[in-house]
A and B are shown apart, each in its own frame.
Chain A
Amino acid sequence: MRGLPGQIGTWLAMPVVAALVALCLAPLLILLAYSFFQVDFVAISRDPTFANYVKIAGSETYRGLIARAFGSALLVVAITAVIGYPVAWFIAKRVTGAKSTLLTLLLVPLYSGDLVRIFAWRVLLGAEGAINRTLMWLGLTTEPLAGLLFSPLATHIALTYNYLPFMVIGLWLAFESLDDAWLEAAADLGAPAADRFRRVTLPLTSPGLIAGGLMVFVMVAGDYLTPQLLGGASGITIISAVNDLFGTAFDWPLGSAIAWTMLAILMLCFGAGALAIRRTALVSEGV
């Protein structure tokens, strides 16, 4: 009888596990299999080969696009972290009554669609947009700033705006479990404010930083709508390349290989992040 509740749980979980395997894992594995095939004119040859991966490694375009995707992701993680720290600290430590209101407000933009948010940025950043008009009205410029929209700047502003809530939520959770007594102890022992952040706040909130950072990282690396709609000429991403390979070029094997390369790098990042979270709890700084 004692084992029964546990067994029931196992059986109840089975449909979900089956659904995950069938709908999530299986397609990925099919994709993995495709990545070792080759396109032979209009047919697909099923002789296993690494040719697609060799092609990616040898192509400056694909390498560059992959590097840019992760570079952008890292940059946005850094920007959201810098903005997120004070916001999360404020919500966790300085707000008492309106905490849930503020958190809801933080998430409200996520309830509207991606496209709506992206087009809202067009309205703000465009040549006839709110920012340019204001600047011209103030007399700071005589003609609209051209680099504002359809540029990497516009892309990164929108990406930061889009994914900031995930970083803030991660950091907020970390701050909620950060005991103020630790910071008081650090001050008591003589640490100035900057050192209190570096030696106490940062290491003790790092699980939240890593968790929030990973979410932002993955989502920015996989975002192709924002660069496409706001980035102008810079809007080609590795994801849109995959899209073209599957859709227009009918080169499923190469598309699968790129997708799996991205997936492998992301999994490595996740592994490293998970390891880092564990390390923060176990390893100490040396004297």
Chain B
Amino acid sequence: MTTPDLRAETDGSGRAQRPLLEAKGLYKSYGEVDAVSGVDFALDGNSYVTLLGPSGCGKTSILRMIGGFEEITSGALTLDGARLDEIPAARRPINTVFQSYALFPHLSVLDNVAFGLSYRGIPRSRIRPTALEALKTVRMEAMADRRPRQLSGGQQQRVALARAIVNEPRLLLLDEPLSALDRRMRKDMQIELKDLQRRLGMTFLHVTHDQEEAFALSDRIIVMRNGRIEQQGRPDHIYARPNTAYVADFIGGAVCVPGEVVDRQAVDVILDTALGRFQIPGAPPLTAGMAAVLCLRPENLSLASDGLPARVTHCVYRGSDWIVECESAGQLLQATALDTPPPPGSDVKLSFDPARAWAAAAEQGVSA
């Protein structure tokens, strides 16, 4: 993996076109509870974006506001520069794949897919062929006459997709679409979803709590927490350059060693931790005196002849390599080893490349 450029936040293409969808200060409260507390983001055309966060972080509320199923408490949503909030759900050029699929149980698969076509000014004679075409896209044309309940979860998922994309929406919303599928099916559907998005050139906004899914699918990830955006950007950028300890932990389980920023030098910060003092790249908002964490991922830490003294506590074989759990200066760390590591209790040395380590803001830190 190449270390991404810190300034890669603009996606590198340097386009200045208007975004497809824009949320400004989007806010949603249910009585006393704030589900979404002022978020700003923009979606480009022809892109796959995921809203990632644990349950209750407000991601589904955002999706439902875009779909038109929830009113916006305050803030603005624009699609192609036009305000979206006054348009009822039925007239938005946006379609949704619901978490439960919400296929109409009284209609056949074909009639489900054809449902929306009668509202799009398509001649009656074209409705059936168009619906069949969409079913072909998701390889479900053989099931056209079945009822939804006669289909497996994966098949229902495909029909729900066909029913949404047949209307050629400007934006497709997917609400945890893979959560009801088993692991294997989920992997297959991830590939199909990404492939479908590329073929159709549509923008997909996908809500999930599964960071693996987000990585597999997205051009851009928006990490959410407690109704706010914690960080957004390209997947590799978020993975390598998490702004906060929360993101570092949520995305790919980094070990976070608490410390304090002593000094800031351009891209790098000098960080004091229980393990020692390091000069490593750090999140942009970090300045001297701020609490920060040293993020170390297992793949960045290896057993070496020289480095941090540590004691092996546990080893897990993963097939391609070993995860070695070690303790160093009271900190639990995880390293990878290609060869069989020494047994628990052994003293080892751990080394890491400071350029690949990362300092993120500690808890109650910045939110970008």
Q: Which residues of A contact B (CB under 8 A)?
A: 179, 181-182, 184-192, 195, 199-200, 203-204, 280-282, 284-287
Contacts and interface: CB of A to CB of B under 8 A. Distances in A.
Interface stretch (B26-34, B92-100, B244-252): B92-100
B89 A181 contact: no
Given A190-B167, A284-B147, A287-B127, A181 B102 contact: yes
A284 B98 contact: no
B96 A191 contact: no
Contacts of B88: 187
A199 B115 contact: yes
A262 to B, nearest CB: 33
5 contacts: A182-B102, A190-B90, A200-B104, A204-B106, A280-B106
Contact of A189 (B105, B110, B167): B167
Contacts of A195: 119
Contacts of A192: 90, 119
Contacts of A204: 104-106
Given A181-B98, A287-B127, A189 B163 contact: yes
A189 B119 contact: yes
Contacts of B104: 182, 185-186, 200, 204
B102 A185 contact: yes
A287 B104 CA distance: 14
A181 B102 CA distance: 6
Contacts of A181: 98, 100, 102
Contacts of B147: 282, 284
Interface string B140-171: 00000001000000000000000110010000
B119 A191 contact: yes
Contacts of A199: 115
Most B Cβ at <10 Å: residue of A184, A281, A285, A287: A287
Contact of B116 (A182, A190, A200): A190
B15 interface: no
A183 to B, nearest CB: 9
B106 A281 contact: yes
